[in-house]
Amino acid sequence: MENIMNNPVIGVVMCRNRLKGHATQTLQEKYLNAIIHAGGLPIALPHALAEPSLLEQLLPKLDGIYLPGSPSNVQPHLYGENGDEPDADPGRDLLSMALINAALERRIPIFAICRGLQELVVATGGSLHRKLCEQPELLEHREDPELPVEQQYAPSHEVQVEEGGITVCTVT
């Protein structure tokens, strides 16, 4: 039997939530299971790890970073916009931005989806549409809360990988 402790260690950024009135940080099981299924060892990354000395100690232990989706949104001031974001997660923003910059500098692989991809765009100087769902030319990708979770997160479109692109080595 394989020793899971020899598998690549993948740091997964947690999301702030409230559970029975208490502040918590959580990870969705589907993300953790996907990392294990792919042969990795997921490690939860709480927001306190954004502290520079802790981050410096953490980075050499990681083989990759996973920035998952979340119901929260990146704070607009981080990409040069005004206004409040009612669904913000400032602790996640702080950790994700620090992790992304450090990972890019050290060439640690990053895999980002949904909010994680938004964080990657913002950390590298890009901007966001605050109401992406209101852009008529873009694919609607929000979940339908009336559907079972398995259907909400079922494959919804194909991915085409370009020969010679940066994704080809990770997908093929």
Measuring CA to CA, which residue among 81, 53, 60, 70 is closest to residue 11? 60
Contacts of 24 (CB under 8 A, 6+ apart): 16, 17, 18
C-beta of residue 73 within 8 angstroms of C-beta of residue 87: yes
Q: Which residue has the higher pLDDT, 161 or 75?
A: 75
- Domain boundaries, position 131: 4-146
Q: Which residue has the higher pLDDT, 101 or 131?
A: 101
SS3 147: coil
pLDDT in tens, 1-31: 678 888 999 999 999 998 999 999 999 998 9
Residue-level pLDDT at 53: 97
Residue 166 lies inside a defined structural domain of this protein: no
- Interior CA angle at 77 toward 137 and 62, to 5°? 90
Domain count, the chain: 1
- pLDDT confidence tier of residue 136, bands split at 50, 70 and 90: confident
Residue 159 lies inside a defined structural domain of this protein: no
pLDDT in tens, 69-125: 998 999 999 999 998 888 899 999 999 999 999 999 999 999 999 899 999 999 999
Question: Any idea what the CATH number is for the domain that residue 95 is in?
Answer: 3.40.50.880
Residue-level pLDDT at 172: 44
CA dist., res. 68 & res. 13, Å (int): 7
